[in-house]
Amino acid sequence: MRIAIFTNNYLPNPFGVSTSIEAFRTDFEKLGHSVYVFAPQMAGYADQNPNVFRYPSFDFKYKISFPLAIPFSRKIDKILDKLEIDIIHSQHPNLLGDAAKKWAKKKNVPLVFTWHTLYDQYTHFASPFIPRKLAAWWTIGNAVSYANRSDFVVTPTSSVEKIIRGWGVNNGNISSIPTGVDTEKFDKADKDIVRKKYGIADDKTVLTIVSRFTEEKNIKFLFEAVSSVLRKRKDVVFLAKGNGNLLSEMGAYVSNEGLGGKVVFASEDDRKEDVFAAGDIFVYASKSETQGMVISEALYTGLPIVAVSATGVSDQVMDGASGFLVSENQEEFSKALEKLIDDKDLRAKFSENAKKIARENYTSSICAERMLKVYENLISRKK
């Protein structure tokens, strides 16, 4: 198959959509398929992959730096005119999503749309310019219209399908396909690299978070809940890796609380798989996930999870089997954490369950095969 992917978010950005595209692209190509990626230009970044084509963009800087694609390019139009494509997969309902829809119609090929985002949780990025309620109304309405005009809609988890059905998606062709873990990378993870680098003793229990440090990730709540445990326990360290506009604020919070020696901020250079491997328990408080790829990666690593029960996360974590799902309550979160810290046998049991769940459901090869079946069925119908 010849697969074209259109995305507003791609390398070198480390966000979930970029990671998802790369996971699927890599496995599609391993299986002999051709994948062409159409994405916004990133200043100063040169693609090593000759099948990546960049639309012009301008850099939007508010809370995070993000390129906004300009979905018009004569150069790209000429490339697409000549390119033979069997299916187009759009990752967004606007900007390059519009270009994907146009070219699917022009090429007379199926259009697949992945609904990656709970858009109402991200309106704070527009709030200085547009009221949040108005931004949510327009963004959700636009995405619903796009989904209903697509040949197939993919959601990362089944709970997201229920939400978007409630928002008005009536497309009869919809299925949940998560993004899988890059097993080659995670099988090479080394727990000692990060622990040795930051002087974390072997007898310490390490709580780990890998996340974007922004409002929609509920990062302030997480730090406050974890800090209440750190104040009481000398045997616990908090290892945090991420970037975003709240990173410096969380650093200041840790310093003001006198927890500088108990919280380690991993650097951008530290491989995330090594950060996962260095941990004993994964902690998460985001309520904005459609899947939460870091949850899949934590499960694959064998980390028991303590997380706020929310869309996406609750599809992946089996409460009482691979972790604890709790309400957004600091005391409840802290108690669940302490239970796992104190009970090593329970941690070991949750760890084995987590690995089993991830290997049966969340490897990149399993997820890629499921997506390819969707493509094959759509292409055969179109003929």
Domain annotation for the chain: domains and CATH numbers: 2-180+363-382 (3.40.50.2000), 183-361 (3.40.50.2000)
Residue 64 confidence (pLDDT): 55
Work out the number of other CB atoms within 10 angstroms of the CB of residue 209.
25
Residue 16 confidence (pLDDT): 82
Residue 354 confidence (pLDDT): 98
Instruction: Find the range with the poorest average confidence among 99-103, 219-223, 242-246, 272-276.
Output: 242-246
Residue 265: is its pLDDT beyond 70?
yes
Residue 43 confidence (pLDDT): 87
How far is 124 from 212, CA to CA, in rounded Å? 15
Instruction: Find the range with the poorest average confidence among 80-94, 124-138, 248-262.
Output: 124-138
Confidence tier at 124 by pLDDT (50, 70, 90): very low
pLDDT tens per residue across span 290-305 = 888 999 999 999 999 9
CB 294 within 8 A of CB 211: yes
How far is 92 from 113, CA to CA, in rounded Å? 7
Q: 90: Cβ–Cβ under 8 A, 6 or more apart, which residues?
A: 5, 6, 7, 96, 97, 100, 101, 111, 112, 113, 114, 146, 150
CA 115, chain centre distance (Å): 12
Q: Percentage of the chain surpassing pLDDT 70? A: 94
pTM above 0.85, yes or no: yes
Residue 166 confidence (pLDDT): 95
CA 196, chain centre distance (Å): 28
CB 372 within 8 A of CB 2: no
Confidence tier at 59 by pLDDT (50, 70, 90): confident
Summary mean pLDDT of the chain: 93
pLDDT tens per residue across span 203-252 = 999 999 999 898 989 999 999 999 999 999 999 999 999 998 899 999 99
How far is 46 from 91, CA to CA, in rounded Å? 22
Confidence tier at 4 by pLDDT (50, 70, 90): very high
Give me the mean pLDDT over the 5-14 stretch: 92
pLDDT tens per residue across span 131-142 = 566 667 688 999
Give me the mean pLDDT over the 87-99 stretch: 97
How far is 58 from 76, CA to CA, in rounded Å? 17
C-alpha gyration radius of the chain: 21
Interior angle at CA 325, CA 320 and CA 327, nearest 5 = 140
Residue 125 confidence (pLDDT): 46
Give me the mean pLDDT over the 81-90 stretch: 98
pLDDT tens per residue across span 315-372 = 999 999 999 999 999 999 999 999 999 999 999 999 999 999 999 999 999 999 999 9
pLDDT tens per residue across span 65-77 = 678 999 999 999 9
